[in-house]
Structures are given as structure tokens and as C-alpha cells.
Amino acid sequence: MTHTDWPLWEVFVRSRRGLSHTHAGSLHAPDAELALRNARDLYTRRGEGVSIWVVPATAVTASSPDEKDPFFEPSADKPYRHPTFYEIPEGVKHL
């Protein structure tokens, strides 16, 4: 098994209409069309999705683990940024 030539693709699956695409995993494929088909076979065969995006992994710019503190730490002690003081009405699922 060697597929060093094939680029890596990140797969995003929308599980239902109205929800957003969620990262499902990654796979190798020679081009975008086959990446979509591979994604269909790998991530949606049990009815998990209604829509798929594939994105070349090289096109994703990720935050570095070294920058974790400056990126995320400052928000930890600002509870007023969190909408925790609202009561969520019954029956609202995706809030």
C-alpha cells in the first residue's frame, strides 16, 4: 500500500439540512472528484449526511499548539462573554 503521490483531503459532512458542515476526517485521493466519492464511501454510508465538502489539507491554516495560551487563555476568565445567563426555552435543540 503506497499512495505517497495522492494528496490528503479534509472531509466535512453536513448531517442534516439546517446544520453546518462538521469535520468528519481525512482521506487520500488523486483529485477532488474522487475525494468526494471516497468521502461518500468512508463517511456517509450509514446515512450520516446530506452534503459533503472536501478541502485540500494543504489549504487549511491551523493554529499552532505553541500559540495555545495567547490564543485561548485570555477568554477563560471572561464569563460575561458566555451566554450562560439566559434561560434556554424548552424545545430548542440547536442553541
Partner 1 sequence: MTATVPATAALALGDDALVLSHRLGEWAGHAPVLEEEVALANIALDLLGQARVLLSMTGDEDELAYLREERAFRNLQLVEQPNGDFAHTIARQLYFSTYQHLLYAELAAQEGPFQPLAGKAVKEVAYHRDHAEQWTLRLGDGTGLSHDRMSRACDALWRFTGEMFQPIPGVDIDWAALETSWLASVTDVLGRATLTVPEGPRTGAWAAGAGRQGLHTESFGRMLAEMQHLHRSHPGASW
Under rule CB under 8 A, how many of the chain's residues touch partner 1? 16
1 binds partner 1 (CB under 8 A): yes
Give the helix, strand, coil percentages of the chain, each rounded to 5: 30, 20, 50
Q: What character string, x for contact with partner 1 (CB under 8 A) and - otherwise, covers 23-62?
A: ----xxxxx-xx--xx-xxx--x-----------------
Nearer to partner 1, 3 or 68 (CB): 3
Cα dist. 32→14, 27, 28, 60 in Å? 18, 11, 10, 15
User: What are the E-state strand segments in 5-67?
Assistant: 8-14, 22-28, 51-56
Nearer to partner 1, 1 or 88 (CB): 1
User: Which residue among 6, 7, 21, 53 contacts partner 1 (CB under 8 A)?
Assistant: 6
Kindly tell me the sign of the dihedral angle through the C-alpha atoms of 80, 83, 84, 85: positive
Name the residues that contact partner 1, by CB under 8 A. Answer: 1, 3, 6, 27-31, 33-34, 37-38, 40-42, 45
